[in-house]
Structure 1
């Protein structure tokens, strides 16, 4: 079986890649990445395609992906890590100085960059892979996040609204006649926890000092007090890959942890599928 993976150098993507590499029924893994993927090195069934622009896909690349059974879209970025605007700032800002107008343009620019990565990129690939594999159904597993919502309010964080838009946009895409073979399932993991997933520790993204200290204090507390909020990476990777190798069918909408017409799974449902407690 042939699967496609993006975001393989990230935390969730690395967990998913480990599961794919150790699943005998998966014979081929096509990884789309901006940079080399050390975790895939030495594995004959994994092929890394260095891809710089995730908004466009050449026919030559799609031809190599046309027999893929499913997709795991783990490419993403924390809203706090976006460090460049989507367009050049119209007002040059002096070092360490932000004017009121400059702040507005800067924030808007960062929002646009986050939207491009979180929403524009997965939709572009969903359209491309749907057309390439049509009429054969293709499961498309989108890694969202707990807290995402398709019904945002004025108090909803921007990241949660954008992820929700991605979820609903993928669902809408699958309802169109042109992309009817698309089988999207959006998963919303909670606090992603790699502590007991030793095999991926050497490949995890480098964290800043502040984040290391914060997670070093906060995560053990959450793990002990509210384990139901956590998503251990070993189990999460197993669930996600299980969805990708499946038929892409909808779950029962209204079941605990299931929404979006049976195609959005919250952390509660993910933990249940993994055999973990609430």
Structure 2
């Protein structure tokens, strides 16, 4: 893993979901990360000397907690919902509107912040699928905000870390497919450790705005 410089104090959202939890676990164990703030609607059930948690129910209004959100040099944004069974207006609000509100708030409070957004494989602002369009619009608008860096991650199948509490139950039945899928289609398969390490390694980059698909995520995780 590439060595970063200075203090790395980061914010993680979505720590009670599979991706956010995996990123949190990896960051807690990483010597590259000095401090972590997680913002959740409910407790994440993790404790650690470098971990601070804010329980906040309304992600569309951060005015009550803004005074606690400055002094961070990265946000690993792992919060999101599936489009399955969700009407288009709700999906747009919970994907685009919510993400942009959080990002706009953080960009005002932290002028040298790196913003990492977990989007998804197949994202395309000009695609036919509604969810792909919404994710693509979110990616495009994040690129315009005054962050020091923006990285949009588009993972496909993600293999959870051992011991994750919030991994989807079906993963334990299909994890055996991972080495087969990785061999046949490496761009569509990464591990949670690779995704998290790639995010951590963005902190050694300077002034970049990138979209990262599967192979690029894996490559960045090895820097």
Question: Which category describes the TM-score, using the shorter chain as reference length?
Answer: 0.7 to 0.9
In structure 2, the gaps of 5 or more residues are 1-7
Partner of 1:241: 200
Partner of 1:70: 74
TM alignment of 1:1-278, pairs within 5 A? 1-38=8-45, 40-41=46-47, 43-59=48-64, 61-80=65-84, 82=86, 110-133=87-110, 136-152=111-127, 156-172=128-144, 174=145, 180-181=146-147, 183-194=149-160, 197-198=161-162, 201-207=163-169, 211=170, 215=174, 219=178, 221-243=180-202, 245-247=203-205, 249-250=207-208, 262-275=209-222
The CA deviation string for residues 30-76 of structure 1, in whole angstroms up to 9 with x for no partner, is: 101111102x22x02111111111111025x2222210111011001
Between structure 1 and structure 2, the one with the greater Rg is 1
Contact 1:143 1:188 in 2 (8 A): yes
Aligned residues: 216
Q: Distance in 2 between matches of 1:239 and 1:33?
A: 23
TM-score, length basis structure 2: 0.86
> Going by fraction, where is helix more abundant, 1 or 2?
1
Q: Distance in 1 between matches of 2:15 and 2:85?
A: 17
Contact 2:158 2:189 in 1 (8 A): yes
Q: Distance in 1 between matches of 2:54 and 2:27?
A: 17
TM-score, length basis structure 1: 0.70
Contact 1:28 1:45 in 2 (8 A): yes
